[in-house]
Amino acid sequence: MATNASLFERAQRVIPGGVNSPVRAFRAVGGTPRFIARAQGPHLWDAEGRRYIDYIGSWGPMILGHGHPAVLEAVQRAARDGCSFGAPTEREIELAEAIIAQVPSVEQVRLVSSGTEAGMSALRLARGATGRSKFIKFEGCYHGHADALLVKAGSGLATFGHPTSAGVPAEVVRDTLVLEYNNLEQLEAAFAAQGDELACVMIEPIAGNMNFVRASLPFMQRLRELCTQHGALLVFDEVMTGFRVALGSAQSLYAQAIPGFAPDLSVFGKVIGGGMPLAAFGGPRELMKHLAPLGPVYQAGTLSGNPVATACGLATLHEISKPGFFEALASRTQALVAGLMGAASDAGVPFVGDSQGGMFGFFFTAELPQNYGVVMATDKERFNRFFHAMLDRGIYFAPALYEAGFVSAAHGAEEIETTVSAAREAFATLR
């Protein structure tokens, strides 16, 4: 029988780093990646037959858990009819209608195959619609690996970005401005200096790639005001949060607290594909008309609107739209975070967590971080030890301090209790 170690050794001979997405390599935490053989409900089984309670959920899509019967049936039925046509299908319309029905800011959507593709296309659309080139992103927010978006900067005010990947020419990111998340002073200054040249501001309303950090209400309200004032588009990257933190996505939470709030463009992924490669971007008809074939902003994709992926996504959206689904999911997630915090407190370990809907995060520090710099200063070494202590006890958290976690509808009281019990043992080793 192949082991995780032997598979990793074999993989490294034919795949760079042995993985097809970097975080899977366990470089941040050390050790050997687990090669997953199968999954069901809230559980994963690795190549050695070891079972884990899964809090990654394919990085968010598996909101129903693995192998949900309604989703499997829809996918199998669609696959029998054909895997790809390169032509329109009715199911693409149905999925677009399902997304629009839950997100009032969106009147039309374009389906694509990945969150990166959706993010880069939304940026191109914003630039094409406004006739401007510059845009703002925030340090610690990840919008895919398109060149112009692969930028991180220090805390300097409105610093022009510098590439954080080899192969990205400096001139490609010369129009990318990077600000500190939740920093109102920087935001005001950036708009005062550059506001009338900005095509858009792109933001994760709840950042999931610096673990779990919310944009504050005052920050988001002022951001909306400044974008409107200067004619810049507000682009919500809801690849993670879309249909995961609430049925109406994160923007519905801000709309409840800020009268009249809505983004101009939205980017979705993960949950809307149910585990298949599918994403989307959308907004008002007046903006979306700039896309080809109606307008001059070109975007295309051979597998966009794939019939099997749309079947998977539709079945998932149907299930999560049932009454009480998100209340139950949020309750489970809150119970997990509260249990972890209680176990840490009993062990005298500095620890704090937060959650929304089925998304959560935690940090080894006393207070919730508000930006990337603070996240970077939290106790990484202690996190790594905790990660391995939990993995040894059959609990699979994200193998990096900077990634959010996910609870599914398949996680029940037993899984939560088992996780908290394992955490009590793990925290005891961290004193």
Shared domain for 253 and 298, answered yes or no, is: yes
Q: How many angstroms separate the CA atoms of 294 and 155, rounded? A: 41
Looking at the 3D structure of the chain, how many domains does it have?
2
Shared domain for 45 and 99, answered yes or no, is: no
Residue that finishes a domain, picked among 320, 352, 369: 320
**Tens digits of per-residue pLDDT, 358-403?**
999 999 999 999 999 999 899 999 999 999 999 999 999 999 998 9
Question: What pLDDT is stored for residue 172 in this prediction?
Answer: 81
Pick the catalytic residue: 237, 264, 396, 402? 237
pLDDT tier at 162, thresholds 50, 70, 90: low
Q: State yes or no: is 142 an active-site residue.
A: yes
- Beta strands 162-163; 279-283: pairing state: unpaired
Shared domain for 295 and 363, answered yes or no, is: no
Q: State yes or no: is 147 an active-site residue.
A: no
Pick the catalytic residue: 181, 270, 354, 372? 270
Question: What pLDDT is stored for residue 164 in this prediction?
Answer: 67
Shared domain for 196 and 124, answered yes or no, is: yes
Question: What pLDDT is stored for residue 151 in this prediction?
Answer: 77
Task: Identify the DSSP state of 162.
Answer: E
Pick the catalytic residue: 52, 55, 142, 254? 142
Q: How many angstroms separate the CA atoms of 31 and 253, rounded? A: 39
Task: Identify the DSSP state of 199.
Answer: E
Kindly report whether the global pTM for this prediction surpasses the value 0.85.
yes
Residue that finishes a domain, picked among 291, 320, 349: 320
Across the range 130-158, mean pLDDT stands at 79
Shared domain for 166 and 279, answered yes or no, is: yes
Question: What pLDDT is stored for residue 161 in this prediction?
Answer: 47
Shared domain for 231 and 354, answered yes or no, is: no
Residue that finishes a domain, picked among 255, 290, 320: 320
Mean pLDDT across the chain: 95
Within 13 A of 390's CA, how many CA atoms are on the CB side? 23
**Tens digits of per-residue pLDDT, 165-187?**
788 888 888 899 999 999 999 99
Three-state SS across 299-331?
CCCCCCCCHHHHHHHHHHHHHHCCCCHHHHHHH
Question: Chain-centre distance of CA 329, in angstroms?
Answer: 17
Return the axis-axis angle of helices 413-428 and 380-392, rounded to nearest 10°.
120
Across the range 131-140, mean pLDDT stands at 96
Shared domain for 240 and 371, answered yes or no, is: no
What is the torsional sign of CA 286, 290, 294, 299?
negative
Shared domain for 403 and 284, answered yes or no, is: no
Shared domain for 395 and 424, answered yes or no, is: yes
Yes or no: say if 364 and 351 are a contact pair by the CB < 8 Å rule. yes
The pLDDT of residue 147 is above 90: no
Write down the number of H helices and E strands in the chain. Answer: 13, 19
* CATH code of the domain in which 349 resides: 3.90.1150.10
* CATH code of the domain in which 175 resides: 3.40.640.10
Shared domain for 229 and 218, answered yes or no, is: yes
Helix (H) or strand (E) holding 396: strand 395-396
Domain span at residue 262 reads: 69-320
Shared domain for 49 and 122, answered yes or no, is: no
